[in-house]
Structure 1
Amino acid sequence: MTRTARVVVIGGGAVGTSALWHLAMRGWTDCLLLEMNELTAGSTWHAAGNCPTFSGSWTLMRMQAYGAKLYRRLSAELEGGIGYHGTGSLRLAHHRERMDEFRHVLAMAHAQGLPYELLGPAEARARYPFLELHDLEGALWDPLDGDVDPSQLTQAYARMAREAGCRIERFTRVVSLERSSGGEWLVGTDKGETIRAEIVVNAAGYRAGEIMALVGRHLPIVAMQHQYLVTEDILALAERGASKLPLLRDPDTSYYLRQERHGFILGPYEWDCRAEWVNGLPEDFAYQLWPDDLGRLERYIEDACGRVPILAEGGVKRVVNGPIPYAPDGNPYIGPVHGLTNFYQCCCFSFGIAQSGGAGKFLSEWVVDGEPEWDGWVFDPRRYTGYATTSYTVAKAVELYQNEYAIGFPFEERPAGRPARTTPLYPVLKAKGARFGARNGWERAVFFDPEGRIEQPSLTLRRERNWNPLVAQEVRAVREAVGVIDLGGFSKFLVEGAGAEAMLDRVLCSRLPKPGRIALCYALDERGGVVSEFTVTRLAHERFYLVSASTAEWHDEDLLRAAMPDDDSVRLETLHGRLGTLVVAGPKARDALAKITPADLSNAAFPWLTGREIELGSGRALALRINYVGELGWELHLPMEELLPAYERIMAAGTGYGIRDVGIYAVESMRLDKCYRSWKQDLEIGFTALEAGLDRFVDLEKPDFIGKAALVAQRERGVGQRLVPLTLDDAGEYDAPFCAPVHENGERVGLVTSGFWSFTLDRSIALAYVRSDLARPGQKVAVEIYGRMTPATVCEEPLYDPGNARLKA
């Protein structure tokens, strides 16, 4: 038997039912949810149900705040409620770095309208009278935190979805997924029927990997054991009556403690954690738990009893040890699946109850509108590509679980699961003292320590790091002599054919380059938001070479393939793993390269923004006269097998010119000197091309391109904010972190997207979106940096070599 549904949602936990209800709220009611067991089976039924709004991510905070607001509303509006308790929460800090983290999150929260407070130890005890204050610096108060009954919440989503017209079928397992000749999805069930659907949503929780296997895809997901214990009643809590204690978290020790009726729930994130089902899931594990292993939690229990002594008065009533799905970075997957039409992920939630409300919002916007209201790259399933194998995922998930409450230090390069992808230069650079970081799985040198003086790179929020002098030397080499950078992993595409120009002209808002020339081009959405950034080299009239961010590999391939016409007039080839990239830059770059190539590299023969193939010894490379550091130089794109010989020739040729290996921390400093934007940091769909200051890359004279109407309308009504460079008037101890608020006369007027120290200009630089009337050179503002209002000045971009004389030399 064959039935139809516009959307089939697979999975009936809190996330799946939220997705169903949010689709219904958008008017999409021809939707069917299939659950292999009972609703709430899987991770939902045994979840603790905590609902924080706290996050170090701007988008995650927005998402969780949306959910908390939704739960408060549903609790008030629905008969019987959803078992929601708005208790507020305290996060404890034992040291200065944690307090600095709290100050930054507090500023982010205030920028989003969330009334967080920073408390001293005595103020924390006033909110939590049983709290011991030893070793405490202070605490962060989130008045919007609380907890909800996971089962009641799920049933409420399901009931509201049914009332809106959606269907839910329990005890129905999906056993096959195929595409029909007409492009629809054929969803086969264990009841022997097929459901024909336009769209499929994978909300199968820790079984989401099984669903992806039905379409021949691997999903980076692993189930981690999470244990929490529930105590018997405690007299002191019973005497408080209906007044519940706030939720307490001690991130420096790594546990949460929550009042549950007249007892406590204690949930540690222990170092000795466990990943399960690495080689496959059991046939049925809907309402089961694993045996408890309290020995792994012993030190956390002792610490919590010392912090809240009444905890020790209650015996352990029960222990919950159940599966929680983890992605390698702990964030869920929400959005389209690479290479599949009308197939979406909404799964792998480590904090699924708190995030279920926001998950439904994001998913429904992807399905109905084609993209979410807010940039959701932190959730996008395409952020992980083919390198994220099972072993990689397990290693990263364990590492993440161990560091669940750890401070997100800038420039921290965690080691688990690495190396995953390397260029042929990896062992050579490692032997020369390279310290590496991973970008889309590719190992890139972040800095070089040739004398091996640094045992462990500094982990701090402050600027003073033990690798600063080394990075300063690398910057100086590029500014004064010549540097070489191995940039493995750029996303690379060849677009060719009779229809290539017309296709790219529609996708990109920028003017396409002429043959032999290079242009920086942007893809926008219909709202004018920045979707992608490409360096486009026109190799021939009908042949284009596109380069974009390493992490954009699957994202940008989907973007380009979706734009291809059906008449075979355009061919797309991906070259990511086949070509490597060496950057040779600095005032002596031409001199060094000229010794190993017969090509004429003179300014007259090979001007800036020109691309052509040149000979390098026994090999050849596509040489692009462009770079991300703002100096005379070339990007050399060449086959991976030729990378090492080319590198050795370049280093030998540059010996007399002060040549030096350079890492990407130096690149980050130098790109800010030039105010070059970073994708998904300074550029995202939440900011239009005009707001991002990309006016010179937007060709509004073109007949049409995606987003043109929105930009024309915005230009006519006025652009409300602009991306500008700031320099800190007082360097202080810190650079501006991502999402640091910008103030003027006590009013928040903007937000920082990038910040770092300029080793060239000897000052701290930030890029920030500010109100347009303040986006003028010389304007005085203040940046809220870890709780400190730091005076800053709006400057004109670029800060370094404003006439691009060095690039054009």
Structure 2
Amino acid sequence: MATIPTHARAVIIGGGVSGCSAAYHLARLGWSDIVLLERKQLTCGTTWHAAGLIGQLRATQNMTRLAKYSADLYVGLEAETGVATGMRQNGSITVALTEDRRQEILRQATMARAFGVEVHEISPSEAKEMYPHLNVEDVVAAVHLPKDGQADPANIAMATAKGARMNGATVVEGAKVTRVTDDGRRVTGVDWQMGEETGHIATDIVINCGGMWGRDLAAASGVTLPLHACEHFYLVTEPIAGLGQLPVLRVPDECAYYKEDAGKMMLGAFEPRAKPWGMEGIPEDFCFDSLPEDFEHFEPILEKAMSRVPLFQSAGIHTFFNGPESFTPDDRYYLGEAPELRGYWVAAGFNSVGIQSAGGTGMALAHWLEEGEPPFDLWEVDIRRAQPFQRNRRYLRERVTETLGLLYADHWPYRQPVTARGVRRSPLHEHLKAAGAVFGETAGWERANWFANPGQEREYRYDWGRQNWFDNQRAEHMALREGVGLYDMSSFGKIRVEGRDACAFLQRLCANDVDVAPGRIVYTQMLNWRGGIESDLTVTRLSETAFLLVVPAATVIRDLSWLRRHLHEDEFVVITDVTASEAVLCVMGPKSRELMARVSPDDLTNEAHPFGLAREIELGMGLARAHRVSYVGELGWELYISTEQAAQAFEAIMEAGADMGLKLCGLHAMDSCRIEKAFRHFGHDISDEDHVLEAGLGFAVKPDKGEFIGREAVLRKREEGLKRRMVQFRLTDPEPMLFHNEALVRDGEIVSYITSANYGHFLGGAIGMGYVPCEGESAEEVLASSYEIEIAGTRVPAVASLRPMYDPKAERVRM
């Protein structure tokens, strides 16, 4: 038995596949003084009973990079460690039974090509040749990924654990971490218990890889780690004579996957409504345990399987298995350092994709720890996206009943969750609801995405073409372009930064010059040392010592963490999340000044209130702070109103605009307007991996103001030249729809993909944005090429522009 040291560079909690991978990759980087503590035995939580499917294609390019890394790692692990991983790249086939699913898998095939994954669209008859046992009578399409595969999950964990030991790491079984210790600001170590023996390891870094135990362990340290266990079912047949090796088969329309293994067949399911488990916590003695059978729950899946793969009609069932796996509210796992406590890292909540993800996440986490920043943009799975309310157990229990099934549900654009809704509401929620709002959810916020007409159903009807709200969005969009619209952005994150050193502090973090007169609004980014964009925000100077930072709803925790992590001990600055204190109403459009004159006696002319100015005004019977800025590219104001006055302000505006065509607008219309204007969106168009100059945001960077984080990278990029450029595209055919991740084709070759898109109702076609590689090329050479966008295998010609296609001189916001 390994001796547990008293000091370590890092302690990893949990000996499943993610913990073992983290240990392996850190040890490979030379972190020999690390310790992995497993409460019982390696793999005994979820890893040992995982299905072991190794798919390479994920929803985004960087998640695909991690999955491809995992597959490559597992191929070579056996030669390195002597432990067989069972890795077989026998490929996978996904079949579609409906037209909607056909569109989805063909779009996925296009996305795979854009991400560099080998993929082939195949006919039903070709699928039958590859998978002779498959009933293809109602199959309408199929795709084949030849380098997908399957592996032995437990042995992958054992191989990475052995590799970690070979490189100097200490791996200890039977040692339970009872407490993570801290000094109020950062981790100081862990307390452990092994039988009757107890001890402490002093360390600055703890990595919670505790799987379904991880949530409660994190909560004991004040760390938010929202996940909940669900029951996950599969069955394994008796040996089937002459079965032969087969690719992995996925039939998402029947919620099923099939895997051949050693002459037997496995049938697994991601049923539409799952069964949460462990509501009172995970039992202390849980180790290689299964859960009670519930054949009635699984029976509908088996019934369809007997028709889809008829050999199940005669094959005997060897094992019917039910085991727990942890799921998260948004079906994406958690990675990174927790914002609440320095040195507390997380790799957990893998939503049944832990085996295919663990190799890549271990690598990414190790480099993140070694180099102080992730190897590429990982915002999609960053722990900082988790909202504090999401640790609520009732919320999690309700939400995960849905998220398990969403793995195989139709992944329509704009799909909204249906469970655990209504947690965070604007003070205007009921007003909007009464006016016909159809709500979506972002970071727990209920936000009006579109407004139904009288008599129209207030539901999404999802589709890969024009959804049932397309005409509603068009009317709202055109009201913003030609008249006046009103939308609620109370979900904006609002961060107050104040104190003696607030200005100097923000000057160090922001790329633009924020040392402006009180009342001025500055659009800026906070950069990392590579010149990548960590935050996209506006900074309003309220006074000599107070600033208001406005950020997207989804990034508040991330932005607070970034600010607090860069605050020096000798700086007198107070950073406060004031999101809930103010509602935000946006009055936008060429008639917005006329409307505002009806609700406020203050002078709102260009001379008195120019673009980029914030000042207090009277509004209705109360007060508001009117910010003259716009995310839709029109004349207008964002009105920041004390929460308790929001309703009267809303009512005053609606009454005043009743006879001038004021239209309530949703977030879908705001998004289509911002895409026509080529405004970037954090998380899609810009991220910490995207250089601010290549994103086309150099106008918001002021290197001459003095030192700031990322300044040297900006100067270096100016010297070296751009390697890629953000370009706006419009399809010449007005019918097709763009969403994002469609392949970007330049002169006949796929070179990139669309980062965000929507329909440009004013411009008359779908509009998208994407980065075009252009090392050594001028802007003129980039635009001289011929461009197409590939949508579900069909290439559509597109017009390209480096300037916004709508109002390129930005004259309308200054009307």
Is the TM value for this pair above 0.5? yes
1:21 aligns with 2:24: yes
2-side partners of 1:153 and 1:466: how far apart? 47
Q: Choose which of 212, 216, 224 in structure 2 pairs with 1:210.
A: 216
Residue 336 to residue 264, structure 1, CA distance change in 2 (3 Å): same
Q: How does 1:546-625 map to 2 (within 5 A)?
A: 546-625=549-628
1:302 aligns with 2:286: no
Structure 1 residues 799-808 or 285-294, which shifts more?
799-808
Structure 1 residues 251-260 or 137-146, which shifts more?
137-146
The answer as to whether partners of 2:489 and 2:584 remain within 8 angstroms in 1 is yes
Match of 2:791 in 1: 785
Match of 2:324 in 1: 323
Q: How does 1:492-571 map to 2 (within 5 A)?
A: 492-512=494-514, 513-571=516-574
Match of 2:679 in 1: 676
1:142 aligns with 2:148: no
Match of 1:197 in 2: 203
**What is the CA distance between 1:77 and its match in structure 2?**
4.3
1:755 aligns with 2:737: no
The answer as to whether partners of 1:621 and 1:638 remain within 8 angstroms in 2 is yes
2-side partners of 1:267 and 1:645: how far apart? 54
Match of 1:250 in 2: 251
* 2:770 partner letter: A
**Unaligned stretches of 5+ residues in structure 1:** none
Residue 391 to residue 184, structure 1, CA distance change in 2 (3 Å): closer
**What is the CA distance between 1:750 and its match in structure 2?**
2.6
Structure 1 residues 609-618 or 429-438, which shifts more?
609-618
Residue 553 to residue 689, structure 1, CA distance change in 2 (3 Å): same
2-side partners of 1:54 and 1:767: how far apart? 22
Q: How does 1:366-385 map to 2 (within 5 A)?
A: 366-385=368-387
**What is the CA distance between 1:655 and its match in structure 2?**
2.1
Match of 1:707 in 2: 710
Match of 2:342 in 1: 341
Residue 316 to residue 774, structure 1, CA distance change in 2 (3 Å): farther
* 1:386 partner letter: P
Q: How does 1:27-426 map to 2 (within 5 A)?
A: 27-180=30-183, 183-190=186-193, 191-237=197-243, 240=244, 244-350=245-351, 351-388=353-390, 389-426=392-429
User: CA offsets, 1:575-608, max 9 Å, x none?
Assistant: 0111111101112211222222232111101000
Structure 1 residues 718-727 or 651-660, which shifts more?
651-660
The answer as to whether partners of 1:176 and 1:188 remain within 8 angstroms in 2 is yes
1:12 aligns with 2:18: no
Corresponding residue SS for 1:252: helix
Residue 75 to residue 115, structure 1, CA distance change in 2 (3 Å): farther
Structure 1 residues 435-444 or 407-416, which shifts more?
407-416
Residue 774 to residue 458, structure 1, CA distance change in 2 (3 Å): farther
**Unaligned stretches of 5+ residues in structure 2:** none
2-side partners of 1:293 and 1:13: how far apart? 26
**What is the CA distance between 1:127 and its match in structure 2?**
1.1
Cα RMSD after superposing both structures: 1.7
Residue 521 to residue 455, structure 1, CA distance change in 2 (3 Å): closer
The answer as to whether partners of 2:223 and 2:341 remain within 8 angstroms in 1 is no
Residue 516 to residue 69, structure 1, CA distance change in 2 (3 Å): same
**What is the CA distance between 1:617 and its match in structure 2?**
3.4
The answer as to whether partners of 1:180 and 1:186 remain within 8 angstroms in 2 is no
* 1:307 partner letter: R
Residue 374 to residue 407, structure 1, CA distance change in 2 (3 Å): farther
**How many residue pairs align between the two structures?**
802
Match of 1:800 in 2: 806
User: CA offsets, 1:404-426, max 9 Å, x none?
Assistant: 21222112222211111101211
Structure 1 residues 362-371 or 666-675, which shifts more?
362-371
2-side partners of 1:362 and 1:220: how far apart? 21
The answer as to whether partners of 1:669 and 1:758 remain within 8 angstroms in 2 is yes
User: CA offsets, 1:412-462, max 9 Å, x none?
Assistant: 222211111101211111111110001111111111113031353221111
* TM-score normalised by the chain length of structure 2: 0.96
Match of 2:729 in 1: 726
2-side partners of 1:43 and 1:80: how far apart? 20
Match of 1:472 in 2: 474
* TM-score normalised by the chain length of structure 1: 0.96
User: CA offsets, 1:365-391, max 9 Å, x none?
Assistant: 221222222211111112121232222
* 2:476 partner letter: E
2-side partners of 1:544 and 1:33: how far apart? 44
2-side partners of 1:370 and 1:416: how far apart? 37
1-side partners of 2:27 and 2:476: how far apart? 56
User: CA offsets, 1:447-478, max 9 Å, x none?
Assistant: 1113031353221111x222111111112222
**What is the CA distance between 1:258 and its match in structure 2?**
0.7
2-side partners of 1:704 and 1:801: how far apart? 34
Q: State the percentage of identical aligned residues.
A: 35
**What is the CA distance between 1:514 and its match in structure 2?**
3.1
1:661 aligns with 2:668: no
1:448 aligns with 2:451: yes
